[in-house]
Amino acid sequence: MRKSENKLTEMDEILETSQEKDENLDEKEGRVYELGFLLDPAISEDKLDEEFSLIKKVIENNKGSFISEEWPKTKKLEYTIFKASHEGKRVFDTAYFSWVKFETVPLLVDKIYEEIKKNEKVIRFIIIKTVKGDTLAVARKPVIREKRKVVEKKEQETEISKEELDKTIDELVIE
C-alpha cells in the first residue's frame, strides 16, 4: 500500500468517526442557521407574502423555530444571474432579497435545502451555520476627515547687499 493510499484510509476513518459523533450530537441538539435567498422579481407585491410564507413553511415542517427574519426587499444585483427553468433561460438583474434565521436539528438541514431547491421562484439561496446572537450588524457612523490645510512657508525676507549676493553666487559656482 502506498503512503498516499494509507493517508486516505486514515482520513476516511477519521471522517467516519467524526460523522458518527456528529450524528449522535445532531439527534440531541439544534443548531442555528441562516437562510439567505433571492426571489424572482416578477412576483407581484400581493403574492410576495405567499411566497415568503412558503419558504418559512419549509423550515417549520422540518422542526425549525424562527429567531429572526427580514421581509423581502427589491435589490439591484451586483451581477446578472442566468437561471434555466422549464420556460427556458431567464436573466435577472434585480431580485427580492430576504433572510431567515432559524434553529433546527442538523439532520434536517439537507431536507430544507432540497425543498427550497425545488421552488422555482427562488433564484439563488444559501444556508449557513451561524450564532443566535445579534441578527443585525450595527451601522457605524461614517468618519469624515478634515482636509489638511496646506500651509505655505513664507521665506523670511532679509535684505542682502549686492556684495554678499555676489559672494554667495561665487561660492556656489564651481569652475
* Domain residue limits, the chain: 26-129
- The rounded distance, in Å, linking the Cα atoms of 84 and 130 is 30
- The rounded distance, in Å, linking the Cα atoms of 118 and 133 is 30
Confidence bin at 169 (pLDDT 50/70/90): confident
- The rounded distance, in Å, linking the Cα atoms of 9 and 15 is 10
pLDDT in tens, 51-90: 999 999 999 999 999 999 999 999 999 999 998 877 788 8
CATH 3.10.20.30 fits 26-129, yes or no: no
What one-character DSSP code corresponds to residue 107? Answer: G
Checking if the pLDDT of 145 tops 70, the result is: no
pLDDT in tens, 2-36: 544 444 555 455 445 445 544 544 455 789 999 99
Instruction: Please compute Rg for the chain using Cα positions.
Output: 33
Q: What is the mean pLDDT of residues 148-175?
A: 74
Residues ≥6 apart with Cβ < 8 Å to 9? 1
Q: Tell me which of 11-20, 40-49, 71-80, 105-114 is least confident.
A: 11-20
Looking at residue 61, its pLDDT comes to 93
Looking at residue 57, its pLDDT comes to 95
